[in-house]
């Protein structure tokens, strides 16, 4: 009976040891699973945020292009903004035909180009301005027998997000009003080349 009791005690001890070890293992694994689930939630949130940022930046980079024209013959005074009022393309909806100003939606390198046309005996001196800083100038002066003539100027420059960009007449040659003729002969365009 002593051997039987001793064997029974050993079996109970071993059973309890295995049973309590199983309980400990389950608790340990549950803790690990909980920790993994929390880590996965954090990673999922970060991935969603990253995807949102990438999508927003891709959209900003793709949709930065405008092309506008003058709808009618215009008399321009010196130091006045040329209000290109016939919108042909405005992918990012950043050009205001009411005031003739483009607002840069992202910081980057932009290509701006504008064409001005005048006629015999007139001249046009215009400037590309970014935040009221002159980035390029264009001068067209015609003799009294020249007829109609258009000139185009291209400027590659940087603009920061929120910068205002426009074409305006300069203070030079102020003895006359400045005349430009309508349609595609007078236009302004801009395109984002490289976001920074």
* pLDDT grade for 11, boundaries at 50, 70 and 90: low
Question: How many domains does the structure of the chain reveal?
Answer: 2
Residues 92 and 132 in one domain: yes
Whether 19 and 91 share a structural domain: no
- What residues make up the domain containing 50? 1-62
Q: CA 44, CA 53: separation in Å to the nearest integer?
A: 14
CATH code for position 178:
2.60.120.40
pTM (two decimals)? 0.67
Neighbours of 33 (CB within 10 A): 10
Q: Note the pLDDT of residue 61.
A: 54
Same domain membership, residue 186 and residue 106? yes
Residue with the two structure tokens 């699973």 = 33
Same domain, yes or no: 76 and 56: no
For 114-169, what is each residue's pLDDT tens digit?
998 877 667 778 999 999 999 999 987 766 776 677 789 999 999 999 999 999 98
Model confidence at 177, pLDDT cuts 50, 70, 90, reads very low
Q: What is the DSSP string of 27-70?
A: HHHHHHHHHHHHHHHHHHHHHHHHHHHHHHHHHHHHS-EEEEEE
Q: Do 90 and 127 fall within a single domain?
A: yes
Same domain, 38 and 108: no
Q: What is the mean pLDDT of residues 171-180?
A: 55
- Domain end among 26, 47, 62: 62
Domain boundary among 24, 45, 62: 62
Residue 151: closest CA among 118, 181, 105, 102: 118
Using the 3D structure, point to which of 32, 47, 62 is the last residue of a domain. Answer: 62
pLDDT tens for 75-126 read: 778 888 999 999 999 998 999 999 999 999 999 999 999 998 877 667 778 9
**Do residue 161 and residue 88 come from a single domain?**
yes
pLDDT of residue 176: 46
């Amino acid at each position: 009976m002593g051997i039987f009791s001793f064997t029974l005690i050993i079996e109970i001890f071993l059973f309890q040891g295995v049973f309590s070890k199983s309980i400990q293992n389950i608790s340990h694994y549950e803790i690990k699973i909980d920790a993994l689930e929390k880590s996965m939630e954090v990673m999922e949130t970060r991935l969603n945020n990253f995807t949102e940022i990438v999508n927003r930046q891709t959209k900003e980079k793709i949709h930065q292009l405008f092309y506008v024209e003058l709808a009618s013959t215009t008399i321009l005074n010196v130091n006045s903004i040329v209000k290109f009022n016939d919108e042909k393309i405005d992918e990012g909806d950043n050009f205001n035909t009411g005031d003739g100003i483009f607002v840069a939606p992202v910081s980057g390198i932009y290509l701006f180009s504008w064409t001005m046309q005048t006629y015999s005996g007139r001249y046009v001196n215009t400037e590309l301005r970014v935040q009221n800083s002159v980035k390029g100038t264009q001068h067209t002066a015609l003799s009294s027998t020249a007829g109609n003539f258009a000139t185009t100027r291209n400027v590659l420059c940087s603009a920061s997000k929120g910068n205002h960009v426009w074409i305006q007449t300069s203070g030079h040659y102020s003895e006359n009003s400045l005349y430009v003729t309508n349609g595609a002969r007078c236009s302004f365009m801009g395109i984002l080349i490289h976001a920074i």
